[in-house]
A and B are shown apart, each in its own frame.
Chain A
Amino acid sequence: MIFDSRIVGIGQSIYTRHPGEDQTVHNLMRDATSNALRDANLDLKDIDGLAIASFSISPDSAIDIAWRFGLSLNWLLQDPNGGSSAMNMLGHASRAIQTGAAKNILILAGDATGLEGYAKIANSYNSATRDHLSPLGHGGPNGVYSLVTSRQMKEYNLSKSDYANLLISQRNWASKNPYAVYKDTLTHEEYNAAPMVADPLCRYDCVPVVAGAYSIILSAEDNKKLEKQVKVRSFFQSFNYDNQEGDGTRTGIINFVDKLYDQAKLSPSDIDVYSIYDDYPAIVLAQLNDLKVIKDSNMKEYLRNMNNEIIPINTWGGMLSAGQPGGMAGGLNGIGEVALQLQDRAGNRQLNNAKYGIVTGYGMTLYRHGGTVSAAILEGE
């Protein structure tokens, strides 16, 4: 799909590992919304559509948020698809604007589960996890992706230490993101000495859970105060592409990768910046490989070269360093970051001459790996 809507406003709340009493999910969502509205130069009354994703607003639903935020709407969506929610909402909201169902849609995600709340979600993520994985003590997604990572290491001849450059690169970006919860640089020595969480995954391979919220506003009209407008030039998704019968080292991107570039009339070498959903390093690499960014699928060489280059991947630090405010808001942060880069508004993280960016979402760990993946090419013009 090609969409004509524009990303006209971006806002986020504080991200914190240890939320205070007033840092509830509703308050954090309010803060992200206020910041996005200010950025878009819009008022609450201008918003006529709301898309929302959160694991922790229960027992409230999207309509409760609309009510409590004072939003009167023509269009409403709540998306429960975890790491793919942000991309789902971007797609649905873009189609809503395309068809005239709404003009200005607030896309909002956030979570403040706390560690115990997160553990509960992780252990009962779906019935397969609740019945067949949690009783093993699988450790939530860490256990699932530890096995996927081992398969990737075997298939692509990677050693544990090969992954360090990806984590170091993202931590370098996080050091320039004022919202990131981890800003200190990371060394190879620190990475290699880090305690294991679920072999071969160490502490730095697992996302730090934070409380936080993120918001973007999608509109039928330009934000006149911005010099560059960001539009979606190509958008594709894949759901349950292999019935969990593959080994998780490939993603559903392989079902649409050629169409993704063809629709935008671009090739992989045209892309300037990437937000690749980063719940685990192995999944970043799997997506980059399926997007044909990694030459000849040589992950080892790709990771080695990361040592010498500025790699424009997850320039906000990604969830692995900036923090995971739930996978839903984390995915939205990736979209917002690419938009900021394409609008030349990424502060001291700004890349030179960024015109095209790729954003992805990956999620919904069904049993052996994720069942959903989405990718879009954004253009700043």
Chain B
Amino acid sequence: MEKLQFFECNKCSKQTFPKKFFCSNCGNIDFDLIDAPEGKIKEISVIRHMLGNKDWQPRKIANIQTDTGVSLTVGIEDNIQIGDILNIYSKDGAPFAKK
């Protein structure tokens, strides 16, 4: 998996994910692609049921927050706990986090 790309405003340096077209801080339209920094797991949920899918196997998602102020939803493996500091990766553009 590749590192997930964040979007960093090249004027005020505010980071964001997913992509925006104007910076919510300064209104600039130019962003640099940067590797997502590490993030801390804040909340975890186990998705136990998926509408329309009878063979669904439970999987975990989590809210992860970076020191740069970005919160995003990631897929995680079973052994992850709240408070873990993880690397954020991309799988076909979708964010996942691992130790």
Contact = CB atoms under 8 A, between A and B. Distances in A.
Interface of A: 115-116, 118-120, 122, 128, 131-140, 142-144, 146-147, 150-151, 154, 195-200, 209, 243, 245, 247, 367-368
A146 B63 CA distance: 10
A135 to B, nearest CB: 4
A235 B75 CA distance: 40
Given A196-B48, A198-B49, A135 B91 contact: yes
B43 A147 contact: yes
Contacts of B91: 135
Contact of A368 (B44, B48, B53, B71): B71
Contact of B45 (A119, A150, A209, A368): A150
B74 interface: yes
Contacts, number: 102
- Chain B binding site: helix, strand, loop or mixed by DSSP? strand
Contacts of A135: 75, 91-94
Interface in B33-64: 42-53, 56, 59, 61-63
21 contacts: A118-B51, A119-B52, A120-B52, A131-B94, A132-B73, A132-B93, A136-B75, A136-B96, A142-B47, A143-B61, A150-B43, A150-B44, A151-B42, A197-B48, A198-B45, A199-B44, A199-B45, A199-B46, A367-B73, A368-B63, A368-B72
Contacts of B75: 135-137
Nearest to A150: B43
A132 B50 CA distance: 17
